[in-house]
Amino acid sequence: MFTRLFAWLRQHQRLVDLALMLPLGAMSLVTRPRYVEMTSTGSPRMIPLWVHVALAVAMCLPLIWRRRWPQAVFAFIALVALAQWLAGINNAVCDLTVPVAMYTIAAECAFRWALAAGLAAELGITMVVYQQPQQGAAAAQWKSLIPFSIMIWGIWLGGLYISTRRKYTLSLEERAQRLERERDAEVQIAAAEERARIAREMHDVIAHSVSVMVVQADGAAYTVDADSQRAKRAMEAIGTTGRQALAEMRRMLGVLREGGDATLAPQPGVEQLTELVEQIRSAGLPVDLTVQGVPAELTAGLQLTIYRIVQEALTNVRKHAGPEATARVGLYHGDHAIEVRIRDDGRGAIPGDGRGHGLVGMRERVAVYGGSVRAEPVAGGGFEVVARLSVKEGVKA
């Protein structure tokens, strides 16, 4: 309940200031001050009524705008109080507006303004105390000044505490907002990276499978009249490749589908390179696979990267190298790095600008493991893709 009350008060500060000003103004109007100078009869002389009303209004009414223009309100009230002191009018209830305005300066403004307001209020109370006729000279005046000074600086410290507390709260709110923005940015970055990963996986699956199916379909159409058995095998290969592609796409979409119950098959890795090469051979592209070195126990992510690099490179060979091309795949295990080399001798080698989506996907995959990719035509015809991946980044702990 108190939290909601404080929140409502913060949203209606003008009403709070009005509620503070009204009782203070009413007390100022009820209590009329007197002049300090004594008359010839020895009694204080009351100030005129219009001066009393004007003084109360001039010092109390500006409190309504004390939060909007704290410096201006304090300066105006202080000047009115100085005019009151110069006119010889003794302490009035409306003089309480001076510490109220000073508190607002301390709570709302910079420290230099708060210090200036505190010193001005202290100077004012000193002038008022020493203006009063005292019995006992300086000692009595000092005794009167001390409690007023304690009150002034206590109010000043209260305003300073509120200012510090408010700044601390604002810093916490700003920090929370900054953390929320950073969290949203991280979520967007993660979503973009995940979309890129999914697009890369879809590209690898679809490009490879569709390429194999196109080659097999062309071969079947070419041999359907002359060699029906060969055409039949080609059609069976098309069906097998299509089913494999659909199964892998369903697996990936099942992972993405929220609450899906898709059966998760293992991701392809280094051990599946033999099956990949056999599939490419069945599509009509002669491929040799060479593995050298002692294989380390690699993580599934690094194995998938190697598999996708070989898959993409062979798909490009089949698409661009020509019908008479052959390819060689080499996997070389070293102590510090793994090198994957795919080279063809085709006549229709793709330009080595590296702008294709497949080559971009290769570079992104390899960069995750601190490696590099080189894809360029070779002398005498053909194209070569060489990828080096760090072993330390992809070895199982």
Residues 6+ apart with CB under 8 A from 64: 14, 17, 18, 21
> What is the reported pLDDT for 378?
85
Strand pairing report for 287-292 and 327-333:
parallel
pTM score, whole prediction: 0.46
Fill in the amino acid letter for 306: I
Which of 349, 362, 340 is closest to 322 using CA atoms?
Answer: 349
Provide the pLDDT for residue 386. Answer: 92
Tell me what pLDDT residue 298 has.
80
| 290 Ramachandran zone, left/alpha/beta (phi>0; psi -120 to 50) | beta
User: Domain map of the chain by residue range?
Assistant: 2-133, 272-397
The token duo for 22 is 């009204």
Intervals of the chain under pLDDT 50? 38-40, 134-137, 259-263, 351-355, 397
* The predicted structure's pLDDT at residue 351: 47
Q: What is the pLDDT of residue 148?
A: 83
Angle subtended at Cα 392 by Cα 386 and Cα 395, rounded to the nearest 5 degrees: 95
pLDDT at position 76? 92
What superfamily does domain 272-397 belong to in CATH? Histidine kinase-like ATPase, C-terminal domain (3.30.565.10)
Q: What is the pLDDT of residue 262?
A: 45
Provide the β-strand partners of residue 281: none
